[in-house]
Amino acid sequence: MLFSLPSWIALIATLLCTLRAIYLDKWATADLQGTSVHESPRHVEGPNRWTMSDGNVVIGTEPDNIFYFVQLSDLHISQFQSKGYTIHFLHFLKSALPTISPEFVVVTGDLTDAKDARRITSSQHLAEWRVYEKALSEAGVVDGWYDLRGNHDCFDVPGWYDAANMYKDYAVSSRRLEDGQGVYEWEISKGTGKYKFVAFDACPKRGPSRPFNFFGYMPSSGMNRLADSIIGSEDKEPYNHTMVFAHYPTTTVAFGTSDDGYTYTDLANQFSVYFCGHLHKLLGGLGDSLKGYDPKTHSLELELGDMKDHASYRIVAVDHDLISFVDVNLPLPQIPFTAPHIPKAIDGESILPESIDMPPVVLITNPKEAKWILQYKEPVARIAQSEALRFLVFTQEQDPDSLRVEITIDGIQHPYPAQYKGVGDANGIGQGYTPLWISEWDPQSFNDMEEHTLRITVTDSAGRQGVDESVFKVNGARIDINGGPGEWIIWTKLSLSLKRCCILVIGSILAILLIPKLYSDYTPIGSPRYTAARDPILKRIHTLSKEPHTLANRTRYHVWLWTLRCIDMPRNMPIVWAGTLIYTLMLISLPWFKGEFIPVAQKSEDRYGLFYLFGIRLSDEWVPLADTWMFALFEVPFGLAAFVVVWIWRATDSADLHCSGTSRIRTLNERAWFKALVVIMWLWRVSEVLALGSFYGGVWPTLVQNSIIWWLLFAGVAIAAGKDGIFVRRSVKERNSSIWGRCIVCHKSTTGQEEDDTRRSLLDNMDDDPGSHSSSSSSTTESLQGLNVVKVRKSRK
């Protein structure tokens, strides 16, 4: 038989576990698949496909065909945190929002923080939701206010109708979201047409407590309703623009397919901008510009920084169907770094702080900034036909004449003065206030296919300044966003990338385990195939070790070295090899652990669930969050692959890797400091599993019914008492093969050393007593001559 019985068992087990993994993946994601997918969904024409640049509409000097709204995200109202969080939101309501007075406000999720005082565990806190409700009521902004759930708002929420879902009772738009079953919409009409706004909830139907509640998903049923809202019926009059709001950036959402076959890409073809939050600008500046343009769908995705830490909000204006926006931060130096007390919703007491001084906020609406141009969804030709620069100025000044406006284009002072053309007063949401300023210009003077920079600076009577800058092209051409890593993150489709990377890593580990095992069976020890296969590898390793240490030589050396180690692992460490393979197959086919994912749930089956690679199984339902893949992408490389590397490193005896007579005996992995690093790595992985237990149920069931902890115990024994373990004392032994006798390098080294030893012994005999040992001296001379003859013959060969 070509392969051994253990190899056949391993192959069959791998095949069966792989088939089960495919089945589990299909089962877990069944809700994302449409039930009656059409082969060819109907195509719907989108906005610039209407002829809005036909010259009938001109961007002029009057305050018409313009409106604006505000987006907020990630408020994180907290009953424990006195820095930022609630404080920032209340200052926005008191000082910023009254000066803006937009058409409406949209909050894209994470209304509350839902964490404990140590920010470790999570649950919904009634006090936080009451603060949110009271703040809106006291500010008088409930009308025209739209809000969505974020992942923090569904931490530890068993279902929509459960008492733990406090969004249902305290949020403004909960009834809209409930009636629309996760999707709601509204529209407004202006002089040039109608505009639709669609908001959808991608939170899991059953919300686990943190940390496995970061990603979102949109099942097929939700995609049906989203498609109905965005596309509508065939005979419906098209909208000038459709804009979509959600908490999650698309990179963190697993979108399903509607029953009519529509994917997210199909829907993105029909809307102009996707507004979201959630990522909080990430860390280290990675998310300073989480914005992107999709050339396939000709749509923008704009993530907004949080109100929690950065006190950020966004003003979006639509001026003659050109969409512009500005992201603004509250003046943090004017807000106390630490509030004297954390605001609470107490009857009869005001929750809003004293007003602070706000610098002017400037938003240029014409010409539109080139990197945000939507060539196929906006009437960009209107820029070249426009009669005036147009910009909005939001300020606490009551008299526009008290403002000083400076306009430069390419650093040159603009020759025409700025004029206030605004209408209405800043007295609340949806009151028709439009603080428009204009300045006449000749766009043809800049219609040279080049980029130009418009900079507008507004100074109020107190000397506070607001600045906006727009790099534009009169011909309406786009320029690159150049958003750096933030733009890349937006378009990576993280949910899918995590899954693919996990599959690649696990597949590589299985290949590294199985292929050498099958090769070992094909070349068993003692057989001619073993000698013919292993000896050439050793010869190459020994030869390359003597070559100059160039990059090419060292690369070839390590390739052959690790090839030999992989081959030796199943031979020299069969128990460790078998245990590693079994654990790897368990990861793809069985639950990883059982945990208390929703502690507030009344029923045991709703509280406890099983963690699989493909999702979380709760109460006979799958929650297909990409959090499981993200956890696996950390756990598999650091908790499995790293140990596999250690096993492989130990598999080959160091004596086999160096020529006979060399002074180098120990390899890197045999040194004490390296073994200490392995122990530290093991302790780190154990601490991570213990932390997991603190989140999801403690010792029982999370730490006992947990394949990871049992694997770590197995790995700990192998690290301590296995081959070359930290408690294993071993002397340097001779290599178990006879390769040195046939290896050219080893042979030269060994025979050369023997000849030198013989020559030295003979000379010593001659020097002892020349007179009394003449006969011995004669024989010694003959021996030396014989050695020289042999040496000459070898050199001739």
Are residue 751 and residue 630 in the same domain, yes or no?
no
Task: For residue 60, tell me if it sits in a domain.
Answer: no
Q: Which of 490, 524, 540 is the last residue of a domain?
A: 490
**Entry field: residues in the chain:** 797
* 3-state secondary structure string across 49-92: HCCCCCCCCCCCCCCCCEEEEEEECCCCECCCCCCCCHHHHHHH
Asked whether residue 762 is domain-assigned, the answer is yes
Residue 353 forms part of a structural domain: yes
Find the DSSP H helices in 357-469: 381-385
Residue 526: predicted pLDDT: 66
Long-range contacts of 335-339 (CB under 8 A, 24+ apart): 335/87, 335/88, 335/91, 335/311, 336/87, 337/83, 338/82, 338/83, 339/82, 339/83, 339/87
Residues 6+ apart with CB under 8 A from 277: 73, 74, 108, 109, 110, 150, 247, 303, 304, 306
The residue out of 714, 737, 760 marking a domain boundary is 737
Q: How much is the pLDDT for 736?
A: 46
pLDDT score for 346: 86
Strand partners, 324: 317
Within-domain flag for 58: no
For tokens 């698949």, the residue is 33
Judgement on whether residues 249 and 302 belong to the same structural domain of the protein: yes
- Report the relative pairing of strands 253-255 and 216-218 from DSSP bridges: parallel
Pair (512, 485) in one structural domain: no
Per the CB < 8 A criterion, the answer to whether 619 and 597 are in contact is: no
Residue ranges with strand state E in 73-190: 105-107, 145-147, 183-190
Please give the Cα distance from 422 to 63 (Å, whole number). 6
Residues 556 and 465 in one domain: no
Assigned token pair, 622: 């799958």
Task: Tell me what pLDDT residue 754 has.
Answer: 53
Q: Are residues 279 and 325 in the same domain?
A: yes
Domain that holds residue 782: 743-796
88, 90, 95, 99: CA torsion to nearest 10? 100
In a domain, 49, yes or no: no
Instruction: Give phi and psi for 499, each to the nearest 5.
Output: -65, -45
The Cα 511–Cα 488 span in angstroms is 31
User: According to the model, what pLDDT value does residue 794 have?
Assistant: 47
Is 533 inside any structural domain? yes
Domain finish residue from 718, 737, 756: 737
List pLDDT tens digits, range 714-730: 999 999 998 888 888 75
Query: Do 433 and 574 sit in the same domain of this protein?
Result: no
Separation of first and last alpha carbons in the chain: 44
pTM across the whole model: 0.88
Strand partners, 157: 207
Domain annotation covers residue 465: yes
- Mark residue 130 as left, alpha or beta (left: phi above 0; alpha: psi -120 to 50; beta: remaining): alpha
Q: Give the pLDDT confidence score for residue 209 in this predicted structure.
A: 97
Same domain (yes/no): 216, 349: yes
Whether 604 and 669 map to the same domain: the answer is yes
Question: What does the pLDDT read at residue 399?
Answer: 94
Same domain, 609 and 727: yes
Instruction: Write the pLDDT tens digit of every residue in 285-297.
Output: 677 789 999 999 9
Q: Could you tell me the two tokens for 659?
A: 């020529």
Q: List all residues 6 or more positions away from 307 whose beta carbon is below 8 Å from its beta carbon.
A: 72, 73, 74, 75, 76, 88, 89, 92, 313
Alpha carbons 523 and 3: distance in angstroms, whole number: 10
* Chunked mean pLDDT (size 10), the chain, 797 residues: 87 98 97 70 52 70 96 97 92 97 98 93 96 97 97 97 97 97 95 93 96 97 96 81 98 96 95 96 78 96 95 98 97 86 86 95 98 95 96 96 97 97 92 96 95 98 96 96 89 92 98 94 75 78 85 91 92 95 98 97 94 95 97 97 96 76 68 93 96 91 94 97 82 48 52 52 52 50 51 48
Q: In this structure, is residue 532 part of a structural domain? A: yes
Count of domains observed in the chain: 3
664 and 565 in a common domain: yes
State whether 775 and 792 are in the same domain. yes
Q: Under 8 Å CB-to-CB from 646, ≥6 apart: which residues?
A: 669, 678, 719
Please check whether residues 192 and 86 belong to one and the same domain: yes
